[in-house]
Amino acid sequence: MSIEVKMAWRNLWRNTRRTVLTIAAIAFACLLLVFMLSWQFGTYDVMINTAVGIHSGHLQVQAKGYNDKQAVYQVVPDPASVSAAVAGVPQVTAHTLRAKAFAMASSARRTYGAMAVGIAPASEAAVSTLAKLIFEGEFLAKTDTDQALAGRLLAQNLKIGLGEELVLLGQGRDGSVAATVVKIKGIINSGQDVFDRSTVLIPLGLFQESFAMQGTVHEVVLRCRSLQDVAPVKLQLQDKLAAQIKSDTLVVLDWTELMPGLLESIKLDLVSGFIFYFILIIVVAFSILNTFLMSVFERTREFGVMLAMGTTPGRLTRILLFESSSMTLIGILIGALAGAAVTQYFAVHGIAIADAAEILREFGLPERIHPRLSILSVTIGSGIVLVITFTTTLYPAFKVRRLIPVQALRA
Amino acid sequence: MNMHVQIGWRNIWRNPKRTAVILTAIIIGVWSMIFLSGLMRGIADQMVRNGISNLTGHLQLHPHHYRRDPSVDHRISDAERLAAVLRQNLPAGAVWSRRVRVNAVAGNARHSSGVTLVGIDPAKEAQLSFVSSAITRGRYLRSGDNRGIIVGKALLAKYETRLGRKLVLMSQDATGEISSRAFRITGVFQTELKATEKQFVFVNLTAVQKMLQIDSAISEIAVLLPSHQQADAVAGQLRQALAEHKIDVSTWQDLLPLVKATIKIYDSFIFLWFLVVFIAMGFGIVNTTLMAVFERIREFGLLKALGMRPGWIMRMVLTESLFLLMLGLLAGNLLGMLSIYALAETGIDLSAFAAGLEFVGMGRIIFPVVQIRDVVGANLVVVVLGLAVSAYPAYKAAHFTPVQALTHT
């Protein structure tokens, strides 16, 4: 061990109380950041997975312009060939077909506007979480022809229960009147009011027949192995569609394009989070700057002696930097470990926020939030603290080089 | 006491650099408390105002069951008697308006979807909700104009239609039949949130009443009070007066549970932020005060040898911390207020995140709002906890024995 490291280490413990307090300040900041970032990343994951699970899937193939207008005539004309193209992509775990149209839903007593969605029950269950959101009754089966699932709030508004009849009246692909009668087989509760208030799910076959779809659909919905696969799959699929189908009327959209608000609200949350963290660390930095400054100023005579005996200013700077960086590193280490421990505890047990259940539900979050410990949250949290505190320590370490031995000895 | 003040003040300037550094920490901390809580209050305030002008008002009166099942089946037929009760019980300056509000389907050749059809009394409605002032094209409804309809800009785009074109509204009438009526788009409104523009369409009250065959019945009365703080008191009074009318009286907090919950979360978040920032600067305060105490051990020993009591020394050290805290608070508050004042006119434009803001229901421009209790809270946290953590160094200083202190080099 070089002499500098040894001296720095001993200097550190000449004033135990001060060193401990400084380390504690750094550890506190680091702990807080690790925890908060894990919290944020954890909620984002759940938000994205819920939204992707209920609404969009990871990717969709649609007719160009359908995403903006959602008009019933904007169809994917040959879903079988798109299916074939999708099936050849290894990262895609499942895909399903959907068709959607606005319809008037009438029970015996009430009429409400609703979004009728035709789904293929078997593949839908593999792609989305809809099958798991059954509140009452059962999910559609492959053999069902005139059964339907209604959102919980819609069923409540329509005053309709299991087994009762529902009339759907809308406009078909060719402008004709689309009408059909279905029986309620199940009630769906996603927790997201807009969805639960407006959705009726019916078998795709029935939809195609009633809405004059002639075998076409509106969306081919894909689920990938993970979020990371989305970008490469999208590129691959775009090429395939262009080559195999030779059609420029189809587009491949990923979940960020299908739900632009979601990603941006996450960005917004992240940015505002970082503003808070940044201010916090600046406060911590000034809090500990005094420790570093004082440990230099109160030793002016000592440095004078060392300089007079021939210690180079470079060596003094190195000693001081070793001192401050070991304090910083110890603080960050303790903070990161404690932060990880606290995070892990809550990752297992979850945190309930009083009175927030309703807000959380709107964003597809459960009542108890589980922060998610990840390499990313630990390294980003520690990294920010490291950079800012280390910058703080540079000033005193370089200031010492300007000492003149004679003056320093008189101090 | 005077002596303590004088000595304390001089002591903190014995080492100006050290004092400046710790003051900077306190000032940034206090500034962030004031400024960021101002921003968060601004966001919350905007949510409340958006919510209230978004057809909520401060109070709403509905027939029993309407809120759970908002259909034409639940309606108030004796609106005149209700108006009489309101006239008696509402404070001066309050305005109210009658509405029929039902779910409906709006359609044209290109598109159809579900909307909320609101029948309004144009003159009265103008006094209490956003509609009349949000018209960007065409004109607002005129009373007696039973064919006109006002729609949102986003709805216009979705239906690929324009001013002067027809829009057909369908809804269930009092007999349970679907009744439909064609309206002509006479005005277009624009709001912060696209969802609002797509959801609401406005027509004359009498037009809806005719369409739904409900004579002069209504489904809600919205009340705007001179101040939203009066909502609870007035609601209580109205509930009593309307006891036998089968009317539900709800305040804006009942009607906007999400906004209410958000405000609560912000409350706790702001307090937590105060605490966290304080802890961050607390380490600095303790360390700085400790240093200031330890380098003066000999001085304290001397004072004690001369007969100064430990309590006086403690008071002296605490006075020094108090000066530090006060100076930091003064500058921090001032900076916080200045930055809020600077943004009061223009606000902070978050348009870069427009889709995200829409998603969480926030407006695009945030105007910070100062709440006295946040400012008081921030200052109290800093002074009280600041003195509490300085007690340790002060106690240390007071309990060196003279011999210990004088032999210390």
Q: What is the mean pLDDT of residues B149-178?
A: 91
Q: Which of residues 124-153 of A touch B (CB under 8 A)?
A: none
What's the pLDDT tens digit per position in A115-153? Answer: 999 999 999 999 998 988 898 999 999 888 899 999 999
A34 domain residue, yes or no = yes
* A301 contact B CB<8A: no
Say whether A359 and B265 touch across the interface (CB within 8 A).
yes
Q: Are A298 and A383 in the same domain?
A: yes
Question: How many Cβ pairs within 8 Å bridge chains A and B?
Answer: 162
B298-335 pLDDT per residue, tens: 888 888 888 888 888 899 899 999 999 999 999 999 99
pLDDT-derived band at B62 (thresholds 50, 70, 90) equals very high
Model confidence at B1, in pLDDT bands (50, 70, 90)? low
**Do residues A264 and B354 make contact, with C-beta atoms less than 8 angstroms apart?**
yes
Going by pLDDT thresholds of 50, 70 and 90, the confidence category of residue A393 is confident
Q: What band does B345 get if pLDDT is binned at 50, 70 and 90?
A: confident
Indicate whether A99 belongs to any domain.
yes
Q: What is the ipTM of this complex?
A: 0.81
Give Cα A43 to chain centroid, integer Å: 6
pTM (two decimals): 0.83
Report chain A's terminal Cα–Cα distance, integer Å: 32
A288 plus A349 within the same structural domain:
yes
Residue A86 and residue A17 in one domain: no
Residue A192 CA from chain centroid, whole number: 18
DSSP code for B65: T
Are residues A208 and A85 located together in one domain of the fold? yes
Are A76 and A211 found together in one domain? yes
- A354 has a pLDDT exceeding 70: no
Could you tell me if A81 and A214 lie in one domain?
yes
For residue A133, the distance in angstroms to the closest alpha carbon of chain B comes to 23
Determine, yes or no, domain membership for A254: no
Number of domains comprising chain A: 2
CB contact under 8 A, A290 and B295: no
What ranges do the domains of chain B cover?
2-51+259-407, 59-224
Higher pLDDT, B388 or B192: B388
Task: Report helix, strand or coil for B149.
Answer: strand
In the listed set A196, A214, A248, which residue is the last one of a domain according to the structure? Answer: A248
Interval B199-228 mean pLDDT: 92
Please name which of A222, A109, A128, A225 lies closest in space to residue A167, comparing C-alpha atoms: A109
Q: What is the mean pLDDT of residues B388-399?
A: 90
Do A11 and A73 fall into the same domain?
Answer: no
Q: Which of A221, A248, A275 is the last residue of a domain?
A: A248
Same domain, A190 and A126: yes
Q: CB-based contact (8 Å) between B280 and chain A?
A: yes
Asked, for residue A100, whether it belongs to a domain, the answer is yes
- Crossing angle of the two packed helices B297-305 and B310-344, in degrees rounded to 10: 130
CB of A298 less than 8 A from some CB of B: yes
Query: Torsion angle of alpha carbons B105, B120, B187, B71, nearest 10°?
Result: -10
**pLDDT digit string, tens, across residues B242-269:** 887 888 999 988 888 888 888 888 888 8
Residue at A257 is within a domain:
no
Query: Is A58 a member of any domain?
Result: no
Taking CB atoms and an 8 Å cutoff, what residues of chain B touch A263? 356
Of A264, A280, A290, the CB nearest to B287: A290
Same domain, A130 and A40: no
Interface of A with B in 98-117 (CB under 8 A): 102, 104, 106, 109-114
**Tokens encoding A125:** 């269950």
**Domain termination residue (choose one: A193, A214, A248):** A248
Whether the CB of B149 is below 8 Å from some CB of chain A: the reply is no
Q: Are A405 and A285 part of one and the same domain?
A: yes
Name the token pair of A34: 């690790």
Whether A17 and A117 map to the same domain: the answer is: no
The string of pLDDT tens digits covering residues B100-131 is 999 999 988 878 888 999 999 999 999 888 88
Residues of the domain holding A96: 65-248
The answer as to whether A255 is a domain residue is: no
Q: Are residues A160 and A284 in the same domain?
A: no
Hey, which residues 315-354 in chain B have their CB within 8 Å of chain A? 350, 353-354
Which among A25, A113, A362 has CB closest to B114? A113
Domain contains A82: yes
Average pLDDT over residues A336-365: 83
